[in-house]
Each structure stands twice: as structure tokens, then as C-alpha cells.
Structure 1
Amino acid sequence: MSHGVPRVAVGEKTEASRRKELKQIEAYQGLVDNVQAKIKAEEYTAETLSLTSALLSQNPEYYTIWNHRRLVLQHVFAKEIHSPPAEDAESKPPPGLTPAQHEITLLIREDLAFLLPLLKQFPKCYWVWNHRAWLLQQASQYLPVTSAKRLWLEEMALVSKMLSYDSRNFHGWTYRREVVKSIELLSAQEQLSALELDDKTEEKKEKKPDQSMTESEFAYTTKMINTNLSNFSAWHNRLQLIPKLLKERNADPAARRKFLDDEFELIITALYTDPVDQSLWFYYNYLMTNLSPKTSPELRIVADLTNKHRIDYLDTQFDLLKDMLEDNKDCKWIYLALVTYTPEYLEIDAGNKKITTLELSDWLDQLDQLDPLRKGRWLDLRKSLNL
């Protein structure tokens, strides 16, 4: 079994199937040799591009061929930019684009379309995602800002659709962050150009804030988490957005405290729903680091917590964890959280009566039984706690 999928026994191959497989291997190797020979000869032609398409359709993991494909496209883009426009062109380019930019746009769109079936069939292939990003980066380089931004916005719609099919595809989430970053950059450039135009025409308009997508992306993580609590990538994206979000909101200490309280409420509700989900404990641990004075103030949601504040938060969390334990005696993660945050609790308030030595020893005993492979870790914890 692998990820819940049973292995299927493969019977002995017939002579006919072996011959067929050998022919396929020979054809594939011939295709590889042909592509390599044309690249070595610097034949950056439509035929070479077509050969790379045939090869990558069979094996998208062959990253060297993606590099070869980019060499061909770079050559074509440069040729279009430096070639004079044809006098007998059948159609005029859209407004705002030169003939060369129009041709480059068509080439980029054509290549993006070529990648779609591959992306559907191999949604976790790094090289397909990398090539899409490279194509759109070329759009940012060669096309006017508005045209390039349009392509990136279409890509945003595509990645949202992909994540609706597989919400935990971390390749898609990583790519989404790159798409967002590029759209924000192009929006800022677009805004700057508009302001410069206003200055030239002496029109007086209020300057709009930078086109940040932080709020909408944060809301998107909430939507995806509500759809599937076990979405590690959504939780990860959420914590990455938080520092930027609070900065853009210009949140004061009171707003930051409320934000932290709301996030604790969100994750605790999720943990009561599914306490064995490791992705939830990942985000819970992130929130708990905000209570530690050892965490850099720049990384904390609330930078001015006093020891009294920390004790109040820890009191609340330990009560919740103990309550959660009542119905989940075999959940390793609850015991781990209790023993992980006990030293910090004792460091702030050594004389507290929230945790007894007997309880702490019992939690470690449970971890010994539930996770025997980490006996050395639990032994070290006992020694550090003088148990």
C-alpha cells in the first residue's frame, strides 16, 4: 500500500508487448538524440520547438529539454524584437502593442496552452510550473505593463482553479505566491505610469495606495481552510501573510491583540474538530511562539506582551489542551504541546499551580507509549525538567 492505493501485481510480459516496448524506447531515444543534435547545432527553429513538445509530452520530468525549449523561445523573442515589421502583415496588432510584441504575446499564449494538458496530467511536476513562470516573466520583460499584467491575472485564475481541484498541492501554492508578487509589482508600475501621466497633463488626482493583494490573499487562505482544515499549505501561506497584513493595516497594539485572540480561537476550534491533524498543530505552534520573549519582536503578532499577558495566554491554552485531552487520550500531539510549553510556562512563573510534577511525568509516560521511536527525546525532556 502507498498513500492508501494498493499495489497492482504486474504479470509477465508477452513477447509482443516486449517488442512493442522496445520500439517505444527506440523511438523515444531517437527523439532525444534529434533534439540534442539540433540544439548543439543551434538550430533554434519551429521544428526544434515542435520536437521538444513531442519529447516533453512523453516525459515532462526531463528538465534539460525544458532548458533547450527556453533557448529556442529566447532566440525567437529576440528575433521578433529586432526584426522590422512586415509590410504585408495580414492583420494589425491590438492597440498598445507593436507587431513584435503582438507576435511574442501569441507565442507565449501558445506555449501556455501547450502546458495545460501537462499540468493537468502532472500537477506536481516542478518543471511544468517553472516553465509557466518563465513564460510570464518573459511577458513582463517584453510586453507593455498592461498586457503583461493581463496574462498574469489570467494565470491567477488558472492557479485558483487548479487549487480548487487539489487544494493541498504545495506546488500550486508556491506558484500562487509568485503570481501574486508579479501582479503587485506590475500594478505598482501601472500606477506609477498613471501618476506620471497625471503630472504631465497637470491633472490633480488623489494618489491611490499600492495595489497590494495581501488582504484578498489572507481571505483566500480563510476560504481554503474552511473548505479543508487539513490544508497545510493554506495555513503556511496564512502565517507568511500575517506580518505584511498587520503592517499594511497599520494595526495598533489593541488591534494586534484582537487579531492574535481571533487566530487562537480559529485554530482551537479546528483542533477540537480534528486533534490528530498535524497541519493544525503546525499553525498552533506558530501562534504559541508569539508568546515567547525569545521570539524576535518583528516576527510577533503582538510585540509588547508583558509576563502577565503571557501567563494569561498560557493559563488559557493549558486549560484548553487539558480539556481537549479528556476525549482524546491517545492523541500524541496534545501531550507534545503540553510538555513543549511547560518549560516556558515555568520560566515565566516557576511557582504556578497550573502544572503538577505528577501530571508532567504522566504526559511524558504517554509520549513514551504513543511515540516509542523518540524515546531519547522524551528522556532528554525528563532530564531538563528534573523528573
Structure 2
Amino acid sequence: MHGRPRKPPTQEEQDASALKADKLRHLQSQILHFHHKKIFTKEGLEISAKLLEVNPEHYTGWNYRKLAVQHFTDKKSEDAAESLSIQSILDEELRVVETALRANFKSYGAWHHRKWVLSKGHSSVDRELRLLGKFQKLDARNFHAWNHRRFVTALKKIPDEEELQYTTNMINDNFSNYSAWHNRSVLLSNLLEKGVKEYSEKDSVLREEYEFVVQALFTDPDDQSGWFYHLWLLEQTAILEPFLLSSWPSHSSKLYISANDYSSDQRSSPISHCFSKTREFPFILCFSEPVVGVSSSTVSIECDYLTCSELTWTPLSSNGSGFAQAWLTCLKFPDAAHTLEACPVKVAVAHFQGIINMSGTSCSQSSHLFFTVHIHSHDQNQAEEQTTDRISWKEENFCMYAAESHDADLLHSLCKLQMIRQKSKDVGWSMKVIADEIDRCRELLSLTECKIGKLTLARLLMANYSLVSVSCSLDRNDVHYEEILSLYDDLMKIDPSHICYYEDELSLVLLKQMTSSLGSLLKNIHHYRESTSSSFNLYACLRLNSLSLSRIGSMEQLLWVQMLDLSHNKIRSTEGLEALQLLSCLNLSHNKIRSFTALETLRLLKSLKVLDISYNEIGAHSIDTRRYLFSSPLNHALGSDWSGDIESLDHWDVFFIFKGLDLIQLDIMGNAAVNDQLKASLVKLMPALKWLDGESCN
């Protein structure tokens, strides 16, 4: 038992253990000999049976038996005395498995071998169900037995409705049976997907299930089994098909493109201006969840000056799955278009089927948006100039942003996510169900202090926010952000063992709150102006510093951001920034970044010129498990780009991250991994680098 000191074994126990170990080693050596030599005999089967009775997890023993059974059934032995019927061979296998399961009821190898035997089709399925009944009386929550039951019922073609009643009986006997709740979710998913007559009305089915599970929740609020099933019900209630969430340029916006400083044109501003010498700018589509299938066949773009049929769409994701929430293409105006005034661009998204999410649900809501592009004439000589001024993140260089009228309209459109959709999804019943569950959860928490109840209430409130965003039936200011934040604050206090998870969730809620309205967003937008700058650089900087953020999210309203300050937080990874394709200056100093691999997302930000990752924890930890999830130089993903000629570069991940960046300024001091050799390597990797840790690289 936990907390009890172990008694040292007696001499007799040590002797018995030594004898058992010797016997086990002898049996293992014999089986390995038979297996490697492919000797399939009755003697080999007897030895493997003895071995598996002692150690049911010996996979080689099970594999040997599979090969031996296949040998005896496919090719009859010439000796009539050794020739056995297929039925008797398979019955013997089932007996061996039963013996092994008595030694270890949770043996993966034993259960897999039993499935393999039954799949041969010569055994009694009815007998198997009776045996499972005995096993489940001994341990009703054993997930191996439940998994095997699903396999057996599929063989016997038992209706899902009948099995659903079985889970009801098991839950009524013990509502703490998590495996029964899980099996119930699997069965209901099948019934809802098939559209069985009694389960064709999804809303009524889910309402009945909420009534069923609430009895368990109020009986023992601290038992997690019912809460997990409640979470599954919430996912089914709040599930939505993917839809277009936002874009850059945004709907009804005006984009000004020039090759020199935008301050020469009083109509433009940092919010609506794009600096491009090649008359090219990114066009970004951001969906409600990761999708695949964004292409010229599913997204149509109309513009008199563009050839849009040949556009290539790129998923902004570093996981290589092909699914991404944000998708990118580049629109380039020809040089012949020296000056353009109000060039309209019309876009139709999901006008044809083909955009689907990871669960296979198609985006059926077609969205239409339009924006205008203004291209300014410029002085070629001035356009070729490149400032070498260093960006300083000192407090005195920032002042509150005074938004012009056109900026306010643009930001308001982004915050409200206004989009012309062909049709909207009716989520009225979902909102009503979730509202009822919010009331129930609040009632329960008024009776008892339940941490999983608090977590569920926070999830319910956020699910309600998602549905409000789709239906637009309520103002976003009606979302109870303060209550959600308070719930996560409480959870961090009463459940410190999961504090990192709660910090991440709180960060996402806080970011949603700050980007949900024009007023809250403007509080965090500042002018950047350094009085000593010879070129009078002026930026609109979004400052999200000193907020205790541990995770980045809710970037769909921030696609316009070119300068972002995330300093003095608890951020551990740059994941979530991939949609900010206009981002030029990024401050991540004084955070919790532990390795260069946590910066992988930055490789997707092609406009990034200024990066500050000073005073993090890079190199301070001897073991970084994230590195093993990251592409290595031996991986083909690096291709021929890997060069081992930089002798001072100890970590290949440094090469992989910074080789693809075109930085002008980098601050990296205050990290344990930084030394003179690393700095020299970085200068060699990035020829455009002008400033490193405040010093000129020239």
C-alpha cells in the first residue's frame, strides 16, 4: 500500500524468488531457441504455455504460439499421431489464455492473443460472453474486458441498442464504472451516426443522457467517471462544423501597399498598411478549427489585376499533418500596376465542397468577403533604402494608441468577426442545453466544493461563448469572462498538481477577453516611436506583456499585428503565432522558454525581422523532452539543407530554427546556452543580422 514501508524479504522468500527467476530464464531461453529456429512442436507449445503462465507479458511467447498454430492448421503434420483438428488447437489456445489471465487480468498480450484466436471463426461466441461476465464480476471497470466485449459483440452482431442497455445496468450497479460510461459513449456515437430511428433526434437523446448522468454527479461529485461522460456530452452538444472565422485583409477593409515608409501617405496607418517592395502581400484565412482542403477549387478570388487560378495555399502548421487552422497564399500585383486606387478583391470561401476538419465534417457554410487594395507609387531609390536602426523595447518608447476613424472601423470589424455567410447554423437547442447545465453546475457548487465541478463550469461557460460567436444572438460582452477566470484561479489554489494546465486555460480565456471587443483591444495597442530614429519609424504595437500568460491563443482577431510584445510572461512555446504572417517585431524576453525547439513556429513567420528571446531558460535544464518530438538532422525533413560545417554549433536545433529566419536584430542574452561560439554561429547562419544583443554585427 502507498505510504507503508516495505518489509525486507526473508531468506526463504529470497531463495524462492531466485528459483523462480532461474526457471523463468530457462523457459525463456528454450522458447527463444524454438522461435529463432522455427521449430514448431508439441514440446514447444508446452514450454510456451508454462512460460506464459508465469509471465503473461512475454510477447515472444505469444508470437511463437501464433506461428505454431498457423503451422499446425495450414500444413498438417505427416505424423498422424501429431495431427490435431483445428477446433482442438484453438480450444487449447483459449485455455492457455485463460490461465494467463488468472495470473494477470490486465495482460495486453493475453487479450490480443484471445482476439486473434476468436477471429479464426471456430470458437463459441456465446461461451465468450459468459466468460466475460465472470471476469467483469471480478473487476467491472477493467477496460481490457470492455474492449474485448466490443470485439465479441461485433462478431456476434449484437445490436448497439442491446449493449447500451447493458451499460445502463452496469452503471446502475456502480456509477463509478468509468469503463461502462466510456462504452456508452462509443455505442451512442455509433447510434447517432447511423441515424437509428429511436436515436435520430440528437437533441432529445443528449437531453436524456444529461438527465441520466446528473444522478451520478449529485450522488458523488468527487467521482470523476460521470464527469468524463458529461464532458463527452458537452462535446457532442457544442460540436460545430468548421467555418471561416477571420481573414487578412479583413472583410470590407482597405489595404495600402507601398515600398517605402507609410508615413508619406496620411490615409494609411500601421493597422492597414503593408510594406512590400515586390507588390506582394499575404492573404490569410483563419478557420474555427484545423481543416484541410483549402485550394483554388474551394476558395475563389476575383481581381482584375491578379491571376488567381494558379494560387498555392499553404497550411500554417508545423506538425506536418496537413491540417491547419490558418492557411496562407500570396497575392502579387504586376509591376505594370504602377499605381492603383481602390482595386477590389472578391473572395468566396467553401463555395464548393472540399474543406473538412479532422473528424471528417465538411465546411458547408460558404462565406463571402471583399476588400480593396491601394498601391502607391514610390521613389525606387527610397524603396531600396534599408534602415539599420535598432528596435528598443524600453517603456519610454511606447505611448497609448490614438486610433483614427478608419482604424477603429477595421478593428471593430475584426473584433466582431463580421463575415457575409450564405447561411448560419441553428444552435438554439445547443445553447439552451448548455444554459441548463450551467445552472445545474452552479447549483451543485453551491452545495459542495468540487474541483472537477469548477472545471466543468468553466468549460460550459467557454462552450457557451463559442456558440454565441456563431449565432451572434448575444453581444460578446455578455460572456462571463470574470467568472471563468475566477474559477481557474480557484482551481490553481485547490489543485496545484495540475497548475500548468489551469494556467494554459486561464491564458486562453484572458486572451479571448482582451480581443473580444474594440475597447479592450485598444487598451493594449500602443504607438512605438523612438525619438532618436533617423527614419522616424512608427509602429502600432500590441502589448500583452506582464500578464502571466503561459500559452498563446485567440490570434484570429490579431492577423494585422506587425509588432508584438509578450515579454515578462510564463510562455513556454511560440505555438499559436503561426497565423501572424505580418509580424515583423516580436519580444519574448523574460519568459519560460526552455529550448530552441520551442521556437519552431517562428520558422513560418517569413516577415520576422526583430526577435528578443533574452532572459529565458534555454539551456538551463539538462533534459528537454520536447527535443525528442522535434525533427532531427537524421530526419529526411531536413533534406540536404543540413550542413555540419559549423563546428561551434553544438545543437542541430539551433541550425534548424535560425537557418530559415531572415533576422536583422536578435537578442538572446541571459540564457544558459548562450556563449561566444553560439553567437558566432548565429551571425554565420543569418547574413542579414545587423544587431546581436545590442551590439553591431558589422
Give TM-score scaled by structure 2 length: 0.43
Residues 67 and 322 of structure 1, relative CA distance in 2, 3 Å threshold = same
The answer for the alignment partner of 1:227 in structure 2 is 173
Q: Which residue of 1 aligns with 2:367?
A: none
Q: Which runs of 5+ in 2 are unaligned?
A: 243-356, 362-423, 515-519, 521-698
Q: Is the 8 A contact 1:243 1:299 kept in 2?
A: no
> Where do 1:354-373 residues align within 5 Å?
356=480, 359-372=483-496, 373=499
Question: Displacement, 1:44?
Answer: 1.1
Q: Deviations over 1:155-182 (max 9, x none)?
A: 1221122112211101111111111222
Aligned to 1:250: 197
SS at match of 1:133: helix
Matched with 2:503 is: 376
> 1:72-221 maps to which residues of 2 (within 5 A)?
72-80=68-76, 103-138=85-120, 140=121, 143=122, 148=123, 151-184=124-157, 212-221=158-167
Q: Indicate the residue corresponding to 1:199 in structure 2.
A: none
Matched, 1:306 2:252: no
Count residues with an aligned counterpart.
327
Q: 1:66·1:131 contact (CA, 8 Å) conserved in 2?
A: yes
Deviation at 1:22, TM superposition (A): 3.7
The correspondence for 1:331, drawn from 446, 450, 467, is: 450
Cα pair 1:291 1:305 within 8 Å, conserved: no
Amino acid at match of 2:116: W
Structure 2 vs 1, CA of residues 48 and 293 (structure 1 numbering), >3 Å: closer, same or farther? closer
Verify: 1:11 aligned to 2:8, yes or no: yes
- Structure having the higher helix fraction is 1
Secondary structure at the residue paired with 2:187? helix
CA distance in structure 2 between the partners assigned to 1:42 and 1:293 by the alignment: 53
Q: Say whether 1:271 aligns with 2:391.
A: no
Task: For residue 11 of structure 1, give the secondary structure of its aligned residue in structure 2.
Answer: coil
**Contact kept in structure 2, 1:368 and 1:378, CA below 8 Å:** no
SS in structure 2 opposite 1:385? helix
Alignment root-mean-square deviation, CA: 3.1
Higher strand share: 2
Bigger Rg, structure 1 or 2: 2
Query: What residue number does 2:435 align with?
Result: 315
State the one-letter code of the partner of 1:103. S
Give the deviation of 1:51 after TM superposition. Answer: 0.9
Q: Deviation string for 1:97-118 (max 9, x for gaps)? A: xxx8x82112222221232232
Give the whole-Å Cα distance in 1 for the aligned partners of 2:447 and 2:71: 65
Confirm or deny: 8 A CA contact 1:289 1:295 kept in the other structure.
no
Task: Tell me, in whole angstroms, the C-alpha distance in 1 between the residues paired with 2:22 and 2:482.
Answer: 70
Secondary structure in 2 matching 1:229 = coil
> How far off is 1:378 after superposition?
4.8
**Alpha-carbon displacement from aligned partner over 1:110-154 (angstroms, at most 9, x marks no partner):** 22123223212311011111111111122x2xx4xxxx4xx1221
Write the distance in 2 (CA, Å) between the matches of 1:251 and 1:20.
Answer: 60
Q: 1:160 to 1:22 in 2, by over 3 A?
A: closer
d(CA) in 2 for partners of 1:24, 1:293: 55
TM-score, normalised to structure 1, is 0.74
Question: Can you list the C-alpha shifts for 1:5-43, whole angstroms capped at 9, x where unaligned?
Answer: x645232553x6555544443333222222222333332
**CA apart distance, 1:384:** 2.6
SS at match of 2:119: helix
Structure 1's 23 and 370: CA in aligned 2 closer, same or farther, altered over 3 A?
A: closer
Gapped regions of structure 1 (runs ≥ 5): 90-99, 185-211
User: d(CA) in 2 for partners of 1:32 and 1:161?
Assistant: 31
Q: Percent identity?
A: 28
Displacement of 1:245 in angstroms is 2.3
Mapped contact 1:367–1:378 kept (Cα < 8 A): no
2:600 maps to none
In structure 1, the residue matched to 2:43 is 47
8 Å CA contact 2:481–2:513 kept in 1: the answer is no
Cα distance, 1:379 vs. partner?
3.5
1:327 is displaced (CA, Å) by 0.7
CA distance in 2, matches of 1:245, 1:293: 17
